[in-house]
C-alpha cells in the first residue's frame, strides 16, 4: 500500500522548511492582527480558526503546491477577522446581529436551566 511508503529526504526537508516558515508566519500574523484572532472566540471566530488550521496543515503537508496560496489565504482570513472585530466593537447593532449571546449556565453553584 502506498500510504506506508517512506518519505524521501527531499520531501521531509520541504515539509520541515514549510512548517518552520508557517510557524513564524503565524506568529507574525497573530502579532499584527491582535489576540482576538484566537481568543474570546465566538462561533464565527471558531470557524475561522478551523479554516486557518486547515489551510496551514495543507501548507505543511504539501509545501510544493500550497505554500504560497496558504500564506495569502491565511493573511486574508486574518485581515477579515480584524475587520470583523472592528465592526463588532464599533457598532452595538452589528454586535447583536453578528455574535452569539452568552448563556448563563450556573450562578453561585446553582444551575440556571429552564
Per DSSP, the three-state class of 62 is coil
Task: Read off the pLDDT of residues 40-56 as tens digits, 9 standing for 90 and up.
Answer: 666 677 778 788 888 88
Asked if 51 and 77 touch (Cβ cutoff 8 Å), the reply is: yes
Q: Which residues pair with 110 in a beta bridge?
A: 107
Q: What is the pLDDT of residues 59-68, one digit of tens each?
A: 888 877 778 8
State what percent of residues in the chain have pLDDT above 90. 0
Query: What residues does each domain of the chain span?
Result: 2-111
Give 18 or 64, the one with higher predicted confidence: 18
Residue matched to cell numbers 496551514 = 56
The separation between CA 5 and the C-alpha centre of its own chain, rounded to angstroms, equals 31
Amino acid at each position: 500500500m502506498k500510504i506506508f511508503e517512506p518519505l524521501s529526504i527531499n520531501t521531509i526537508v520541504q515539509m520541515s522548511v514549510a512548517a518552520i516558515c508557517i510557524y513564524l508566519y503565524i506568529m507574525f500574523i497573530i502579532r499584527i492582527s491582535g489576540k482576538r484572532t484566537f481568543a474570546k472566540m465566538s462561533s464565527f471566530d471558531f470557524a475561522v480558526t478551523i479554516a486557518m488550521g486547515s489551510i496551514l496543515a495543507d501548507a505543511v503537508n504539501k509545501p510544493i503546491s500550497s505554500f504560497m496560496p496558504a500564506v495569502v489565504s491565511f493573511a486574508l482570513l486574518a485581515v477579515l477577522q480584524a475587520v470583523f472585530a472592528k465592526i463588532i466593537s464599533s457598532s452595538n447593532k452589528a454586535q447583536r446581529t453578528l455574535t452569539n449571546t452568552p448563556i448563563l449556565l450556573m450562578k453561585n453553584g446553582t444551575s440556571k436551566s429552564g
